[in-house]
Structure 1
Amino acid sequence: MTVIFFDDQSRESLLPLTYTRPVADLRIGIMKISEKWLRHFKTDKHYYQTQTYLQEKFATGSGSLNIFINGSVCPNTQLFEAVVALKDGEALMHEDICIAVKTSQPQLNIRALENFKQVHFDEQFIKITYPEDIFKFNADALREDFDALTRGRTSAKLSNTNTILGTDIFVEEGVSAECCTFNTHNGPIYLGKNSQVWEGTNIRGGLALCENSQIKMGAKIYGATTIGPNSRIGGEVNNAVIWGNSSKGHEGYLGNSVVGEWCNFGADSNNSNLKNNYAEVKLWDYSKQRFRRTGLQFCGLIMADHAKCGINTMFNTGTVVGVAANVFGAGFPRNYIADFAWGGAQGFEVYTLNKMFDTVVKVFERRGRLFDEMERNILTNIFNLTEEYRRF
């Protein structure tokens, strides 16, 4: 049986985060959604049914019998058992949400579900529909992943220079931490392979610090926060999900936020996560072409891949920053900053592809990565797709 992750309509409402990846490649908790499912299936072999321009990076394919999984749905034990129990030609549904389909067909037409026998699943599960859902549901996803990754295993030991409150902590091999405080009373703490927590850091779980990432001296981290692989974080962070290969290495506040890959924050940059009048926060929604009510009082920054900000950048409550935007200068920039925008509160111009590529090459080199033709093609496609938003 071949596992294939498909994008449903959430792909549009999750923009700009899904311009650069299929929905199943989103990270929430400790793992990406695809990794959660594959752990249940006990396989690494999988494919994606996603946007054409992404298929070179996220391979397409099929087998003689395929299980199509909705990439916006996070698994749990009950849900996985219901998926496995499907017969050929059946679709697992929750109200109007298609969770999974088992079929010998090589492609799934999500608009033709009447061709499948529908099986209903009425239990609870996490579904990611909007960007804010990622930090909103991160505590539950982090707990689920922590239990899955640590079950039946023994944690490595931390140095006795650290203070640990509670027992809900798991340390992978190669972790380095000295003279820090780890409080697990409000959520688990997971320290990934070869991660580092520098002296004087105070952590209040839940926290996932993924492999090869670092928390710098004196940082203050509150749950439920995820720091993806190969990242470096400092300052004050609260309920934020940072996907990986990104840096917020200095003082400044980041809260109730989602940050993509290859992002960088200048020193003393801050975001607001609460309006002065305590009103409900709105976010720019690409699918609706307007600001959408979130139902949240606390909602900070949504920053897509390759975005950057200069020192002392101030982000208003509920700001969306598009792919490869470069923000700098005094004052508060607007609440929606278009993809490939260059500037700040004083105005924007287009961040041209060649200029942007020059930066990405240097960023990739620092991480020992090659910025190849495939990555160039993806960003070129996104640049063309988002042209309508750059009417500066």
Structure 2
Amino acid sequence: MTVILFDDQFRNNLLPISYTRPVSEIRVGILTIAEKWAHHFKTKPYYQTEEYLQDKYPYHSGESNLLINGSVCPDEELKEAIDRLGEGDALVAGEILIAVKLNEHGAKEFDLEHIDRFKKHELSGPLIKMSFPEDIFRYNGQEISKDYKVLTEGRTSAAISTTNTVLGDNIFLEEGANAECATFNTTQGPIYLGKNTQVWEGSHIRGAFALCEESIVKMGAKIYGMTTIGPYSKAAGEINNAVIFGNSAKGHEGYLGNSVIGEWCNIGADSNNSNMKNNYAEVRLWDYQKESFRKTGMQFCGLIMADHSKCGINTMFNTGTVVGVGANIFGAGFPRNFIPDFSWGGSHGFETYSLKKMFETAERVYERKKEVFGEIDKKILTKVFELSEKYRRF
């Protein structure tokens, strides 16, 4: 069975996070959505996504194919419902197509405009789906708990140093994970320390919490529950209900709350975001589809920052700020609540951050992690630069 994860009609609601990845490559919980499905079906999935992303995230179909909505997070009940599908059967939740089983010809002809030709079966249970960027931190605590069970069931944790204080017993360390003189409170949710991670002295961490492979929590950090630090990242200061995708750094003091930070991002020292308006009103976020601000229905909503964006020291982000791909923010005062992709500046004003300069920075960032900023990534970012041009109305 070939598993293909498709982007549905709500993909653009997840911009700018989805500009640089298929929706299934969003990290929520410990794993990306694609990694979750890979664990459930014991196979590497393929992707049906935007054409400019397919070189990096390839498509492949076989004789028998299972096409799954890449914005949907799996659980055992959902997997069992998918396993019961026959060829031509579709699992739906109202107007949302969750999965369909097709032969090779059907998979190649598949599109969301013709789902009425499938035999539909309604999902009876709950569904966790990423429809908007704020859903990533909204559901992160639940997804950490689900992923924790998947990753640790039947396994034994590596030993934790006796210099630490652990409340409860819901903690798991992978091989090479190291923590000293830290406090871990697992009474409100599990704590997962990935392979070769480090938690430095004086840190206080409450579950649910995930620290992914090769990442570091620096000295004296205060991290509240429903937080994920993705692989090859650094975390410090105060963090609450936030998701950092990976290869990013919030390595200094400052507050990050109810937020999503993409890959290859850097948060300058003593930078802060507000996660609640001082009049306690509902938070609105910039919506790329509507080209205006959208009500979130949430009182707590902080910073959404897409891949390759950076901010200088002491940057202040207002409640419900959206930062696009490849932006560079600096200077005193609060910048605007929507900072378009490839913007350079701050509250004093913005100009376009040229691809040439942005690429030069990216090459240096990749070199620091012994990675290569290659032609595929350059092509993706060039396309995003073109797609987002209309939002740069400086």
Normalising by structure 1, we get a TM-score of 0.99
Supply the distance in 2 between the matched residues of 1:32 and 1:53 (Cα, whole angstroms): 20
For residue 72 of structure 1, what is the aligned residue in structure 2? 71
Task: Summarize deviations over 1:167-214 as a string: whole Å, max 9, x none.
Answer: 010011101111000000111000000000001100011100001000
Which whole-Å CA distance do the structure 1 matches of 2:155 and 2:101 have between them?
33
Secondary structure of 1:364 counterpart? helix
Tell me if structure 2 keeps the 8 A contact 1:4–1:62: yes
Deviation, 1:125, is 2.0
Percent identity of paired positions between Structure 1 and Structure 2: 63
1:26 aligns with 2:26: yes
2:269 match: 267
SS in 1 for 2:205: strand
Residue matched to 2:357: 355
1:369 aligned partner = 371
For 2:55, the equivalent position in structure 1 comes to: 56
**How far has the Cα of 1:119 moved from its partner?**
1.0
Query: Where do residues 82-161 of structure 1 align in structure 2 (5 Å cutoff)?
Result: 82-104=81-103, 105-107=106-108, 108-161=110-163
**Matching residue of 2:36:** 36
The code of the aligned residue for 1:88 comes to E
Q: Find the aligned partners of 1:97 and 1:350 in 2 and give their Cα distance.
A: 38
Aligned counterparts of 1:347 and 1:353: Cα–Cα separation in 2: 19
Q: Tell me by how many angstroms 1:281 deviates.
A: 0.2
Residues 303-335 of structure 1: CA distance to partner in whole angstroms, max 9, x if unpaired? 000000000000000000000010000000000
Q: Give the alignment of 1:1-392 within 5 angstroms.
A: 1-44=1-44, 46-104=45-103, 105-107=106-108, 108-392=110-394
- Amino acid in structure 2 at the alignment position of 1:54: L
Count of aligned pairs: 391
What is the distance in 1 between the residues matched to 2:114 and 2:274?
43
Residue 233 of structure 1, CA deviation: 0.7
State the TM-score, normalized to the length of structure 2. Answer: 0.99
Q: Residues 316-362 of structure 1: CA distance to partner in whole angstroms, max 9, x if unpaired?
A: 00000000010000000000000000000000000000000000000
Question: How far apart, CA to CA, are the structure 1 residues paired with 2:150 and 2:334?
Answer: 42
Write the distance in 2 (CA, Å) between the matches of 1:209 and 1:10: 29
Runs of at least 4 residues of structure 1 off by over 2 A?
none
Q: SS state of the match for residue 112, structure 2? A: coil
**CA drift at 1:48:** 0.4
Give distance in 2, aligned partners of 1:34 and 1:138. Answer: 15
Matched AA of 1:81: E
- 1:102 deviation in Å? 0.5
CA contact (8 A) 1:61 1:106 kept: no
For the residue of structure 2 that corresponds to 1:164, the secondary structure is strand
> For the residues of structure 2 that align with 1:134 and 1:325, how far apart are their CA atoms?
21
Give me the whole-angstrom Cα distance separating, in 2, the residues matched to 1:209 and 1:128.
21
In 2: Cα distance, 1:391 partner to 1:320 partner: 15
> Any conservation in 1 of the 2:9–2:112 contact (CA below 8 Å)?
no
Instruction: Give distance in 2, aligned partners of 1:243 and 1:47.
Output: 20
